[in-house]
Amino acid sequence: MTWGLELARVRFGTRTALDGVSLVAAPATVSVVIGGDGAGKSTLLRALVGLVGLSSGASRRPPKSEIGYIPATAGLYVDLTVEENLAFSGGAYGVTGREFAHRSDELLERIGLAGARDRLGGQLSGGMQRKLAVAMSLLHRPALLVLDEPTTGVDPVSRSELWRLISGAAAAGAAVVATTTYVSEAYRASTVTLLDQGRPIATGAPSEIVEAVPGKMGVVRSAAQPRGLSWRWGTTWRLWSPSGVLPEGVEPVQPDFEDAVIIACLADERAV
Amino acid sequence: MAVLAETRRVTKRFGTFRAVDAVDLAVASGEVVGLLGSNGAGKTTLIRLVLGLLRPSGGDVRLFGALPSMSTRRRVGYVPQTLGLYDDMTVLENWSFTSAAFGSERPVLPESIRDSKDELVGNLPLGLQRRVAFAVAFSHEPELLVLDEPTSGVGPLSRARLWQDIRESTEHGTGVLVTTHNMEEAEQCDRLVVMVDGRVAAGGTVADVIGSRTVVQVTCDDWRKAFAVLDEEGLIVQVESGALRVPGSPGQLGEILARHKIAATVATVPANLEEAFVSVVRNGIHR
């Protein structure tokens, strides 16, 4: 069974928060949604799990009991212990008794909190809190796992451990949808949706998004900003020509995924 | 190039805990130094020592050749993680307040934030708030910029534009010390300093930090099965572009996969910066 959104539109009053977004969440795959603050990432996930209604389009999802979801800001109770947090989640999803004991032991071991069952959620570091929240959402082995910025502000070591959990859920058959502001995390996904102001501005596998870049990109080594659509990378400039004609002396360079993302944003900005 | 900020074996103890332990750091005019480390590694404490907000328990801190003081503070621009803006004041009021505090009356707001000058900072989206914090920190034309996770939660294009501002300032001779968890951003720095448990565990260019570190790339038809088997062994397996990347030796991984009758191609490939960083942190300090 495949879940997802089809041309989903969400309005809050007169503001369109999500404007015709489609997304496929297939079992045993990870879909990543990239965008900045206010791009509509959280609204997209909330529409997918059924927390906000669509003004048009369609949302397909399994029954609530088969969804695991963590919002961007929380996902755990700071005044409950690690064990109590898991037990609460277990109770809510009907994972109890011996099954709960087995599953919570396994998850606590994996997130390195087996020795911290009695610690309050609020006493954990940011990275640990996110790991516990993801573990709570995995307790009932959801068919659809939906994670809102699970790694924002988390250091790379904790991030690799979080992705181990997330990829593990996909390996076990879950359809995973996660949002991120880190462009490099797109490589962990089979499909990527790039969102800006509620609109999808690029969709596909990272390699497909790179291949779909129109025109040509070049690297310019100068202090002054070159004319045209350009942005900084280290001490150099990247210059993109939508028509494919670069100024004389500028060598074309194959864009990488990060370049492709910035080009998609620039192209979108120009079109608006 | 003139050294703007320098620490020599600087140490900060809180009780018996050494938050910063004998750290040498230098930031010269016109360069961007990236300070990397896990949460709790001592990055923010080191920044506070450099700014003079904390006194060292041992070692030396020099800012523009002198001890940190009010007069050196005037020459530094600082954007903390929390941005340091007043949410209930407008953009213009924030700007004017900081300009007045630094004694640098500059009536011209930068173009990048002029459109929102009468908006309350608390009502602006995060990306724009960061631009305001940058503009405020740049307002007195500092010689040293200190940025603590400047782009956390910011989208790709806004991030590129913030880096444009950073590089424009280094071209005028400003030195920049920046912390980040974002490896794409770290790759844009001229030099990196990696902290683990209060100490400098690695440093130099991106290539220096990666060094000869490698990971094993596992390619097979059924990534899910290979993942499950390697994960069960306690290995930190990362899935990237349909292949698995695992720290370890190809022989060891090949043996595990063969034992579970999984046909796979196993190859040693150079680590990327993120993998190198994780390896530095996991293996602790090598000096």
- Does some domain include residue B30? yes
- Does some domain include residue B284? no
Same domain for B194 and B219? no
Q: Could you give the strand order of the β-sheet that contains B3-14, starting from the edge strand earlier in sequence?
A: B17-28, B3-14, B58-63
Same domain for B9 and B146? yes
The tens-digit pLDDT sequence of chain A (272 residues) is 789 999 999 999 999 999 999 999 999 999 999 998 889 999 999 999 999 999 999 999 999 999 999 998 878 999 999 999 999 999 999 999 999 999 999 999 988 899 999 999 999 988 899 999 999 999 999 999 999 999 988 899 999 999 999 999 999 999 999 999 899 899 999 999 999 999 999 999 999 999 999 999 999 988 888 988 999 998 899 999 999 999 988 989 999 999 999 999 999 888 87
Residue B285 has pLDDT above 70, yes or no: no
Instruction: Find the distance separating the first CA and the last CA of chain A, reported in whole Å.
Output: 37
The last residue of one of the domains, among A177, A207, A237, is A207
pLDDT at A249: 85
Residue A243: alpha-carbon gap to chain centroid: 32
Same domain for A191 and A215? no
- Does some domain include residue B282? no
pLDDT at B112: 77
Same domain for A189 and A225? no
The last residue of one of the domains, among B180, B205, B230, is B205
Do A120 and A79 touch, CB atoms closer than 8 A?
yes
pLDDT at A106: 92
Lowest mean pLDDT among A187-191, A216-220, B105-109, B237-241: B105-109
Same domain for A190 and A215? no
Instruction: Supply the CATH number for residue B247's domain.
Output: 3.30.70.790
DSSP 3-state of A80? coil
Q: What is the dihedral sign for C-alpha B172, B178, B183, B184?
A: negative
Same domain for B48 and B167? yes
Residue B1 has pLDDT above 80, yes or no: no
Among partner residues B125, B184, B236, which is closest to A160 by beta-carbon distance? B236
pLDDT at B109: 82
Residue B152 has pLDDT above 90, yes or no: no
Same domain for A103 and A92? yes
Same domain for A136 and A238? no
CA-CA distance, A37 to A161, in Å (whole number)? 24
What average pLDDT does the segment B179-203 reach? 95
Same domain for B265 and B186? no
- Sequential DSSP letters for B60-110: EEEETTB---HHHHTTEEEE-TTTT--TTSBHHHHHHHHHHHTT-------
Do A36 and A181 touch, CB atoms closer than 8 A?
yes
The last residue of one of the domains, among A207, A222, A252, is A207
pLDDT at B105: 67
Same domain for A59 and A131? yes
Same domain for B162 and B70? yes
Same domain for A193 and A267? no
Same domain for B191 and B219? no
Among partner residues B188, B223, B239, which is closest to A233 by beta-carbon distance? B188
B interface residues, A as partner, C-beta within 8 Å:
37-40, 125-127, 149, 152-158, 160-161, 163-164, 167, 171, 181-184, 187-188, 190, 223-224, 227-228, 231, 236-242, 274, 277-278, 281-282
- Does some domain include residue B287? no
Residue B107 has pLDDT above 70, yes or no: no
- Asked whether the beta carbons of residue B184 and residue A258 sit closer than 8 angstroms, the reply is yes
Structure confidence at residue B234 as a pLDDT band (50, 70, 90): confident
Structure confidence at residue B106 as a pLDDT band (50, 70, 90): low
Same domain for B232 and B198? no
Residue B162 has pLDDT above 90, yes or no: no
Same domain for B125 and B259? no
Same domain for B184 and B261? no
Instruction: Supply the CATH number for residue B85's domain.
Output: 3.40.50.300
Same domain for A219 and A261? yes
Instruction: Supply the CATH number for residue A129's domain.
Output: 3.40.50.300
Same domain for B179 and B101? yes
- Asked whether the beta carbons of residue B241 and residue A187 sit closer than 8 angstroms, the reply is yes
Between the alpha carbon of residue A196 and those of residues B52, B130, B155, the distances in Å are 40, 18, 9
Contacts of A37 in chain B (CB under 8 A): 125-127, 153-155
Same domain for A217 and A128? no
Residue B40's domain spans which residues? Answer: 3-205
How many domains is chain A built from? 2
Place of tokens 């050196």: B72
Segment B14-72, tens digit of pLDDT? 999 999 999 999 999 999 999 999 988 999 999 999 999 999 999 999 999 999 998 99
Structure confidence at residue B287 as a pLDDT band (50, 70, 90): very low
pLDDT at A74: 72
Residue A62's domain spans which residues? Answer: 3-207
Cβ neighbors of A10 (< 8 A, separation 6 or more) are A16, A17, A18, A43, A47, A52, A53, A54, A55, A198
- Does some domain include residue B280? no
pLDDT at B286: 45
Contacts of B126 in chain A (CB under 8 A): 36-38
Do A220 and A236 touch, CB atoms closer than 8 A?
yes
Same domain for B27 and B59? yes
Same domain for A101 and A186? yes
Same domain for B223 and B200? no
Structure confidence at residue B275 as a pLDDT band (50, 70, 90): very high
How many domains is chain B built from? 2
Same domain for A50 and A40? yes
**pTM for the structure as a whole:** 0.91
